[in-house]
Structure formats: C-alpha cells, structure tokens
A and B are shown apart, each in its own frame.
Chain A
Amino acid sequence: MGSIDAIEISLDNLLQEVSGKHRQGYRFVTMTCTDVGDGYDILYHFDKDYELFNLRLYLKKGEELPSISSIFFAALLAENEIKDLFGIPVKDLAIDYGGRFLLTEDAPAAPMGKGCSKSIDIRLQGAPEEEGK
C-alpha cells in the first residue's frame, strides 16, 4: 500500500514544525483530515518549488487542535472547515466561525466523521424510500 511522504509530528512540536516551514519559505497549500476511528489523521501540506512537504499528525478524539493560523493566516479557512465537518475543537483560530463556516444551524454535527448518524441516502430518482428509514 503506497503512501505519501510525510513527517510524523505530535501536538508537542506541531507549531514548532509549522514555524520552521514558514521560515524556510514554504507556501501553505491545505490540510486534510481523515476520521480513522479512534482519532484523526491530519495532514498539513506545504509547497516550495512544486515540491510538496507534508506533516502528519495523529489527533485522538476529544483532543483540541492548536490552530496554525497565527503562522500561516491562510490555514484558518481549512481549520474552520475541519472544525465544521469533523467536529474537532480548534483553539486560537485567527477567525473563528464557531462551527458555522460551511454548515447551517440545522445541519448534522460533524458530517464527515465516522460517527455521524446522518447517512447519505443514495436512491434513483423517483425510487420509493425503504421501509424503516
């Protein structure tokens, strides 16, 4: 199983590693979050001269994610998105949308999380709804 090159980091050295990328002249590209059951696999993607540099952080469920928006301002949008879609608390955001960046008040909580009770109902148009749903 192939995987992308990524340096494993922890909450202890996250801000230090990200600051290092900023000092080295990297551009912030985006963040990717995946719910892996008991925690989250969070990737920070940076670019310099078309080469991607990735940092990989494992975050346990219930833990708070420190924002990197004080270092890379652009990260605040990706962090607010992760906060909305995965329900991860993010602290020290440069602009905090309070979980309403993409989602409305009546949206399901953490829809990208594995524990989201709201499933996507894929049916052919006009097909009857299954009983019990």
Chain B
Amino acid sequence: MPGSKSIIPFGPQHPVFPEPLQLRLVMEDEKVVEALPAIGYVHRGIEKLAEKKEYTQNIFLVERICGICSFMHALAYCQGIEELMAVTVPDRARYLRVIWSELHRLHSHLLWLGLLADSFGFESLFMQSWRSREAIMDIMEATAGGRVIISTCIIGGTRRDISDELLAGVLKTVDDLERELEIIRPVVFDDYSVKQRLVGVGRITQEQAHDLGAVGPVARACGIAMDFRTTGYSAYKEIKVSPVTETGGDAYARALVRVREMYQSIDIVRQAVRDIPAGDIAAPAKGNPEGEVISRVEQPRGEVVYYIKGDGTKHLERLRVRTPTFANMAPLLAMLPGCELANVPVIVLSIDPCISCTER
C-alpha cells in the first residue's frame, strides 16, 4: 500500500557486514525513513576484565578490542599509563610507534576499501585492495612477528626494534604500495560506476557532523580539520601531519579522504624512517599507576579515548574506552533517512564501522 511503513531488520548477519550489526530500518516503499541500530552481539565486557587483570597485562587485552587498529589501542593505553607513572619514552621508540601506527592505518584503509568495493559489487577493486594490503601485513610480520596483533607496544617504549635492513624493507613496501595506489586511486576518484554509487549518498552537513560528534574520516569528509596526530603525541610533533579534508560530506568524500590518507601515511612512514634516531627502545617503569588520565590517539577510524584510573595497586580502578565507531554511530543515524534500501550497505560501510571496537 503506498505510503504505508514497514520495518526491515537489516542484519545482524548480512553478506556485506564483516561484523554483526543490526539496523532496524523503518521503510516507506524503498526509502528509509528512520534507522535504529541494535548492537550487543559481540560485547565481551573488556572494561570489566581490565579491572581484574594487572595493568601490564591489559596491553594484550586492549589490543584485542579490535585487531585492525590493535597497535593504536595499545599505544593509547600505554601513553596513558606512562603519563600516570611519569615515564619518558625514548625517542627511537616514539618513531617506531609512528611507523607501526601508520602501517596499521594503511592496512586498515585498504581493508576498508575492499569491503566498500564489495558492498557495491566491484569485486576486482575489492581483490586489488586486499592484494595490496597483503604486502603491509607481510612487512608487519617481518618487523614485529605478527600480522595483525603485533604486541610491540609496552609501557615505556617498544618491545622490539626494527633493524636498518628491515627499515629499508619498510620503505620498499610503501614505495611498491604507492605505485599500486596510483592504479587504484583513479578508479576510486573517477570511475563512473563508483561515482554513481557514492556521490551524494549518505550526505551529512558539517554542522550535523559536529553536532553528532563525528570523528576521523567521517568528520574530515565534512570539512572538519580534526586529526589528533596534529597534537603531537609519539613522534608526530617532529613529523609533518595536516588533516586531510573534503567537503562533500557523502560516501564519496569519505572514500576520497581515506585514499588520500594512505598517501599521507606513506609520507609519514618515509619521514619516520629517514629521521629515526639511534638509541634505546624502552625506559623502565617502576611502581603502579595512581591517579586518573585521559589519553587520545588518532586511529584509522578516528579519535579513540582512553580514561584510566589507577589507585596505586597493580589493578586499575577503571578503564573506559570510547572508540571512533561508537562516536560515528549517531552520524550514521543521520545519514540513512531518505536513502534507498540498496544504498544502506554502502552508507554503513562508508563510515568504516568496527563493531568489535564499539561494543568492547
């Protein structure tokens, strides 16, 4: 019946969703009128578990909040503990942290590009993105011993160093990736069918993005120049970083931001490899954390916030984690109304959702 409303439960299992998320879509014919997210399928109680583990063990725990940005979870946590315990991280370790952070950003953005391409049926772009990602995973394994969860960040620095030979390997990997991006970039930027599926889809204004608390590429695609790397944590204060922004506010703008950020990450890796000083990779941390602190890091999906409260024992009183996808859920609810049902997967993938992060 024309004008009548129906509710479609979209997910939690859906071919394009890599993780379980349900959207309850209120539909009028093929148009979405309203969307309500239903989560909780992968809630693991990590914040509670963090109170039971020792604060040193929590590094391994927070890395498991999300595999894709695992290093940056550990980084945000370690930075917070280091501030509480007044530990100064050696310069070389700060640069190593930047290198591994940017390698994570690269493999995360390539993973996302493949998933986005898959959401609108561009299988060859999906396969090419993931093929390129493999080289990043390989160099991660060579430098850290693990492909996804690398556990190199510790309180006071890093667990491992990267030899000069391997640093040359890192440079070769990003050089090769840059050449492959030169093939991928025109497809995302100019291909007719990609633009047909992305331009004008899931658009929000800059005011909406700010008001709804958007972070990361979702905010930057609306022209908000916000990137926490510019605050200068780790070695970012010595490395040139400026936020990559677009103004379209739609799925296309979000795609452009992430593709451009891959070039930016390559540039940051080159700067870090060129300027990394010799020296120690870790400083000793004695005692237990006492007091409260907030640590923020720019993950591939945006700002992650760690609130850490210690009481002077080896167990934390509270660990609270606000992940970027959690912040981007409210903007997602503003993107969906008015769109066609066929565009729902594209819009959801355009925020690069991480449900494991969101639920913890």
Q: Does B329 contact A (CB under 8 A)?
A: yes
**Contact across chains for B40 and A72 when beta carbons are under 8 A apart:** no
User: Which of B40, B210, B307, B312 makes the CB contact (< 8 A) with A100?
Assistant: B40
**Contact across chains for B305 and A45 when beta carbons are under 8 A apart:** yes
Complex-state Cα separation, A124 to B84, whole angstroms: 30
Interface string of B223-235 (1 = CB under 8 A from A): 0001010110000
- Interface of A, secondary structure class, is loop
**Contact across chains for B330 and A73 when beta carbons are under 8 A apart:** yes
Number of inter-chain CB pairs below 8 Å = 84
Q: Which of B43, B212, B231, B317 has the most CB of A within 10 A?
A: B43
In the assembled complex, the CB of A99 is this many whole angstroms from the nearest CB of chain B, namely 11
Q: Does B36 contact A (CB under 8 A)?
A: yes
Complex-state Cα separation, A55 to B326, whole angstroms: 20
User: Which of B52, B292, B326 makes the CB contact (< 8 A) with A120?
Assistant: B52
Complex-state Cα separation, A93 to B35, whole angstroms: 16
Interface size on A, residues (CB 8 A): 33
Q: Does B290 contact A (CB under 8 A)?
A: yes
Q: Does A102 contact B (CB under 8 A)?
A: yes
**Contact across chains for A50 and B52 when beta carbons are under 8 A apart:** no
Q: Which residues of chain A have a CB within 8 Å of any CB of chain B?
A: 1-4, 25, 27-30, 32-34, 43, 45, 50, 52, 72-74, 76-78, 85, 95, 100-104, 111-112, 120, 122
22 contacts between A and B (CB under 8 A): A2-B84, A2-B290, A4-B293, A27-B213, A29-B303, A29-B322, A30-B326, A32-B318, A45-B294, A45-B322, A50-B231, A52-B294, A72-B213, A101-B40, A102-B43, A103-B43, A104-B40, A111-B45, A111-B48, A120-B45, A120-B48, A122-B53
Known: A28-B213, A43-B307, A50-B230. 17 other contacts (CB 8 A): A2-B292, A27-B213, A32-B307, A32-B318, A45-B305, A45-B307, A45-B322, A73-B330, A74-B330, A77-B326, A100-B40, A101-B39, A102-B40, A102-B359, A103-B40, A111-B45, A120-B52
